[in-house]
Amino acid sequence: MNAKPEVRHNEAAHRYEVDIDGQQAVADYELEGDRQVFTHTYVPPELRGKGLAEALVRRALDDARAANRKVVPACSYVAVFIERNKQYQNLLGN
């Protein structure tokens, strides 16, 4: 994948989305007050290894920061991403 994927925030569905070749990768979340709970990240097998999950989660965490929300990584991918990207660790909240 040469170009950066276009990540959309679908607020009505509480998810971040990327559509490529008729398939969709998503990062789902729930809002609980001032907390954003990330519940699920999914990339179709044919699209894996292209940085889509990273693009979804990075955009979601940047938006959470901009909205002054704390983040709860109920999704294992989001938890590992935050662990590996120290700049997001100050977003963690219970």
Boundaries of every domain in the chain: 8-91
Q: Which residue has the tokens 């955009």?
A: 59
> What digits encode the pLDDT tens for the residues 10-52?
999 999 999 998 999 999 999 999 999 999 999 999 999 999 9
- Looking at domain 8-91, its CATH class is alpha beta
> What digits encode the pLDDT tens for the residues 50-68?
999 999 999 999 999 999 9
Q: What is the pLDDT of residue 87?
A: 97
User: In the structure, what pLDDT confidence band is assigned to residue 3 with cuts at 50, 70 and 90?
Assistant: low
What pTM, to 2 d.p., does this model score? 0.93
Q: In what order do the strands lie in the sheet with 8-10?
A: 8-10, 15-20, 23-32, 35-42, 70-73
What is the pLDDT of the chain when averaged over all its residues?
94
C-alpha radius of gyration, the chain, whole number: 13
Write the DSSP string, 2-15.
-SPP--EEEGGGTE
Structure tokens that stand for 24 in this block = 């969709």
Please give the Cα distance from 27 to 83 (Å, whole number).
17
